[in-house]
Amino acid sequence: MLETEIKRLIVESLALEDVNPEGIETDAALFVEGLGLDSIDALELAMVLEERYGVTIEDDPEMNARIFASVRSLAEFVRSQGGEARGS
Amino acid sequence: MTPLSRLLAAGGGTRIVAFGREGALSEDRLRADVGALAAYLEPLAGGRVALHCQDAYAFAVGLLAVGQVGAVAVLVPSRQPGALLRLAGEVAGFLLDGEEVPPEIEGRACVSPLALPPAEYTLAALDREAPWAELFTSGTTGEEKPVVKAVRHLEDEVATLEARFGAALGAGTRMLATASPQHLYGLLFRVLWPLATGRPFLRTPILHPEELVPTMDEGDFALASTPLALRRLAERAELTSRAAHCRAVFSSGGPLEAGVARRVAETLGAPPYEVYGSTETGGIAVRQQWAGDEAWQPLPGVATALDPEAERLVVTSPFVSGGEPADAGCTRLATGDRAELLPGGGFRLRGRVDRVVKVAEKRLSLPDMESRLREHPAVEEAALVLVEGPGEPRVAAVVVLTRLGRESYVRDGRRALGRELSGHLARDFDRVLLPRVWRFADALPRDAQGKTSVRALEALVTEGTTRPERLVFEQEPGRAVVEWRIPPELAHLEGHFPGHPVVAGVVQVHWVMSVLEELLGTPPRLTSLEALKFHEVLGPRDHVRLELETEAREDATRFRFRLIDAAKPERTFSSGRGSCRAES
C-alpha cells in the first residue's frame, strides 16, 4: 500500500530514530506538531519523493503546504501524479 | 541611488517597490503605509518594538515606520514562544503580520504593520547615528548578545553593495530571495538594498525554493539565496530557460559547495557570488567559486588583518557594529574564524575557533544549547556534537540522566523522553537545530585525557542503537548495579528468532562478564557457573537491571547476579552464581 511505503520512506530517508513506520498515523501532521519534522526534512523528503515516484513538487506554496500535511495527503498527491506505478 | 536615511524624505510615484502573490505595491502606497503605521507608533519614540513578518513588504513598512518615529526595531528571529516571552517584558509592543496574536504575548500591544487606517504623517530623513535595528545572531536567542545596527551601518553597507554589485545587477532588476529579512543578509539583500536602488523586491515568503521559478519568467531578476536552497534549485533543469533573465545570484549564510556553485552557474548562467560576513561584522568579503577553495576578496571599504596570535580574522569597516573604534568612522572586530591572508589582499578561511556550528545556515553555539539542556530536571550532564545525516549535518545529543530522567525513560520510553527534551529546547532554538539523535548514557564518554572529546562523542553517536544503552553504573565494594535498555535494533537479536526476537542466554551471561571485567580491571576467566536460570524471555525495548554481588576469595572472585526488569523488579530474566579468576 502506498501509505505504508511512504511511511517507510520517511523513516528511512530521514533516518528517524525511535520511530517505526507503523507508528506514524496516516492522518497525523508531519511537521512541527505530530511527527515533528522540520524544514530540512521537507527538502529531503521532496527530493526522495521526486526520485522514487517521479513526481514534481510544484511552485505553489499553499498547495505544497497541503501536500506535505500528512502521509495521506502525500499519498494522494503521488497517486494524482500517477506516480504509484513507478513506486511499486 | 538614494542614501537609506533619505529614502522617504522625498519622492513618491507609481514605481513598483514590492511584488508577489499578495499583489504589487507602488512607492506611493509604501509612503502611505509607513505614514499610517508611524502615526500609530509615535508614542513609542525612543523605545523598542519587536518586529516579525512573513511578508517582506509588511516587514519593510514596519522597519521604516519604526525608524520614522526614532524607535528601535528588534528583529525577532522567529515566533518561538520562548523568544516572544523573553521579549515581552523588554519591548513596548509587537509588530507581527498575520491574523493571530500568539498566546504568549496576549494582552500586549500587538498590531500587523499593514492593518492601520490611513493617517497624516510627514515622512522625514533619518538621523544617521540613531540606532535602528537590533538583530540576533541567527540560530539562538538565548545567551547571544543582541547586535544593534545604527542607520549609518545599514546605509553604508547598502552603498557598498551597490558599488560592488550594482553594475552586474542593472537598473530596475527584480530581487528574488529565499532569505528572510529577519536576519542581516535578508534585511540588506532582500529589502534595504532594493529599496534604496529602486529595484522591486519579492514580498512572498519562500519555503520550497522551486516556488521562485514562476516569478523568474516575469523579467530580469537577481536572486539572494542560501546554500541549502541553491543546492535544491541547481537540480532544476528547467531553470536553464530562465538563464536569460538572471542577472546575478548571491549566496550567504554558510559555505556553498563548489559543485553546487558550478551547477548554478550552468543552469542560471550566473556563477553565484558567495558573500561572507556575520551579523556583527556585516558583509566582509565575496568570491565566485570555480574549482573549489577560491580566495575571498574583501568588499570595498573593508580591511582585513589577523589578530596578534595570527589566528583569527580581524575586520575593520564602516558597518562593523560592537567592535572597537578605528580610523575614519570605522570599527574593528575579531571574528571567530581562522584565516590565512594571501598576497594581493585576499584570504582563505580555515574553520571556526570555538564550538559554534552551522546547521542549515543557522548558527548554533553548542555550549549554549548544552547549558539549556542541563536546566531540564531529567538531565544531569549533556554534550552535543554535529554528525553527518542523510542530508545536512545534524546535532546529536549525549545525555546523562538524573534519577527523575531515568524514571521517565523507563516509564514513558526513549522516544517520549527525547521528544520532551526537544520540546524543552524548542522554546529557544529553531527546529532545525534541535538534536536529531539522542543517546542516553551512564557517563559522558571521555578520552584518555579525561576530556569529552568530539571524537569520543561521535563514536558513541555513530555506533547507533545496536548496542544496549547503559543508563546506570553504580559501584560500591562488593556490589554493582547496572541498567540497560535493550534497543530494538540490538545486533544480538538478529536471527533470535524470526518474528520473535529474544536476547539469548549466552549474551546475558556475556554482559555479566563484561561488568565483572570493569569491576576487576582485567578480563575474568570463568571457573564455574552454577544455578544458572533463565526465568523470563528478555526482548527488545526491555529495560534491564543487573544486580551483581562479588566477594574476593584468596585466588578467585565469587559472584552472584540477578538480571531483572527495571520497571517491574518482580520480573526476573535470569540469575546465577559462579566464580572467576583474573586472567593471567
Give the nearest partner residue to B210 out of A13, A32, A57, using CB atoms: A57
> CB-side exposure of B444: number of CA atoms within 13 Å?
21
Model pLDDT, residue B499: 67
Give the pairing type, strands B16-19 and B174-177. Answer: unpaired
Task: Say whether residue B419 is in contact with chain A using an 8 A CB cutoff.
Answer: yes
DSSP-derived 3-state class of residue A75: helix
Neighbours of A43 (CB within 10 A): 21
Instruction: Identify each DSSP E strand in B38-173 by its residue range.
Output: 48-52, 72-75, 93-96, 110-111, 131-135, 147-150
CB-CB neighbors (< 8 A) of A65 in chain B: 207
**What per-residue string of b and e applies to B428-448 under the rule 16 or more CB within 10 Å gives b?**
bbbbbbbbbbbbbbbebbeee
What span, in angstroms and rounded, lies between the C-alpha atoms of B276 and B299?
10
Is B70:B150 a contact under the CB 8 Å cutoff? Answer: no
Q: Write the DSSP symbol of residue B89.
A: T
Cβ–Cβ below 8 Å for B432 and A39: yes
- pLDDT number for residue B141: 32
What are the grid coordinates assigned to B13, written together?
510615484
HSE, side-chain direction, 13 A CA sphere, residue B284:
29
CA–CA min distance B412, chain A (Å): 13
- Report the pLDDT value the prediction gives residue A88, as an integer from 0 to 100: 41
Q: What distance in Å separates residue B239's CA from the closest CA in chain A?
A: 13
Contacts of B324 (CB under 8 A, 6+ apart): B331, B332, B333
Does A88 reach chain B within 8 Å, measured CB to CB? no
> Above 0.90 for ipTM, yes or no?
no
Nearest CA in chain A to B238: A56
pLDDT at B522: 79
pLDDT at residue B444, rounded to an integer:
84
Cα of B534 to nearest chain A Cα, Å: 28
| φ and ψ of B165, to 5 deg | -115, -5
| Neighbour-count burial of A33, counting CB atoms closer than 10 A to its CB (0-12 exposed, 13-18 middle, 19+ buried) | exposed
Q: Is B422 within 8 Å of chain A by CB?
A: yes
**Segment (H or E) for B574:** strand B572-582
Q: Which residues of A touch B424 (CB under 8 A)?
A: none
The predicted structure's pLDDT at residue B149 = 97
Query: CB–CB of A59 and B214 under 8 A?
Result: yes
Contacts of A49 (CB under 8 A, 6+ apart): A9, A55, A57, A74, A78, A83
Put simply, the chain A residues between 30 and 69 with a CB less than 8 A from any chain B CB are 32, 36, 38-40, 42-44, 46-47, 57-61, 64-65
Cβ–Cβ under 8 Å, residues B183 and B192:
no
pLDDT value for B554 = 81
Residue A37 DSSP class: B
Whole-angstrom distance, CA of residue B154 vs CA of residue B184: 9
**Cell triple for residue B244?**
536569460
> How far apart, in whole angstroms, are the C-alpha atoms of residue B317 and residue A50?
45
Q: Which of B204, B210, B437 sits opposite A17 (nearest CB)?
A: B437
Residues of B within 8 A of A24 (CB-CB) are none
User: B474 pairs with which residues across the strands?
Assistant: B481
CB contact under 8 A, A36 and B419: yes
pLDDT at B213: 86
Mutate to test the interface with A, among B178, B211, B230 (most CBs of A within 10 A): B211
Choose from A59, A63, A66, A67 for mutation: most chain B CBs within 10 A: A59
**Measured distance CA(B549)–CA(B526) in Å, rounded:** 15
**A15 interface with B at CB cutoff 8 Å:** yes
Half-sphere exposure of B525 (CA within 13 A, CB side): 7
pLDDT (0 to 100) of residue B140: 32
- Which pTM does this prediction carry? 0.66
Asked if residue B189 lies in contact with residue B166, where contact means CB atoms within 8 angstroms, the answer is no
C-alpha to C-alpha distances, A25 to A70, A71, A73, B196, B413, nearest whole angstrom: 8, 8, 12, 50, 19
CA neighbor of B329 nearest in space, from B170, B155, B572: B155
Task: Write B445-454 long-range contacts (CB < 8 A, 24+).
Answer: B445/B398, B452/B383, B454/B385
CB neighbour list of residue B141: distance below 8 Å, 6 or more residues apart = B76, B77, B78, B80, B82, B83, B86, B428, B429
Helix (H, G, I), strand (E, B) or coil at B304: strand
Q: Show residues of chain A in contact with B432, CB under 8 Å.
A: 38-40
CB B368 within 8 A of CB B144: yes
Tens place of pLDDT per residue across chain B (584 aa): 899 999 999 888 899 999 998 889 999 999 999 999 999 999 998 899 999 999 999 999 999 999 999 999 999 887 877 778 888 888 999 999 987 778 878 878 889 999 999 999 999 999 999 999 999 874 333 356 789 999 999 999 999 999 999 999 999 999 999 988 999 999 999 999 999 999 999 999 887 888 888 888 888 999 999 988 888 888 777 777 788 899 999 999 877 878 889 889 988 888 999 999 999 999 999 999 876 668 999 999 999 999 887 778 999 999 999 888 888 889 999 988 889 999 989 999 877 777 788 888 888 888 889 989 989 999 988 999 988 877 778 899 999 998 899 888 888 878 889 889 999 998 888 888 999 889 998 888 876 555 677 778 888 887 766 667 888 888 888 888 998 888 766 656 656 666 677 888 888 888 888 888 888 777 888 888 888 999 988 887 778 899 999 988 888 889 999 999 988 888 999 999 999 887 65
User: Using CB atoms, which residue from B208, B419, B432 is nearest to A38?
Assistant: B432
Q: How far is CA A26 from the centre of its chain?
A: 10
B181: Cα within 13 Å, side-chain hemisphere: 32
Looking at the complex, does the CB of residue B139 fall below 8 Å from at least one CB of chain A? no
CB atoms B434 and A61 under 8 Å: no
Are the C-beta atoms of residues B246 and B223 closer than 8 Å to each other?
Answer: yes
Smallest Cα distance from B431 to chain A, Å: 6
Partner residue opposite B207 with nearest CB, options A14, A18, A61: A61
Neighbour-count burial for B533-558, b at 16+ CB within 10 Å, e otherwise: ebeeebbeebbbbbebebeeeeebbe
Which residue of chain A has the CA closest to B417?
A18
Which residues fall within 8 angstroms of residue B575, CB to CB, at 6 or more apart?
B531, B532, B533, B535, B561, B562, B563
CA-nearest residue to A11 within chain B is B390
**Residue B239 near chain A (CB below 8 Å):** no
Chain A residue with CA closest to B206: the answer is A61
The DSSP line for B34-61 is HHHHHHHHGGGTTSEEEEE-SSHHHHHH
Number of cross-chain residue pairs from A and B with Cβ atoms under 8 Å apart:
68
Q: What is the pLDDT of residues A15-72, one digit of tens each?
A: 787 788 888 899 988 887 778 788 788 888 888 888 888 888 877 878 888 898 999 9
Q: Compare all CA atoms of chain A with the CA of B437 and give the residue at the minimum distance.
A: A17
Mutate which: B180, B202, B210, B392, vs A, most A CBs within 10 A: B210
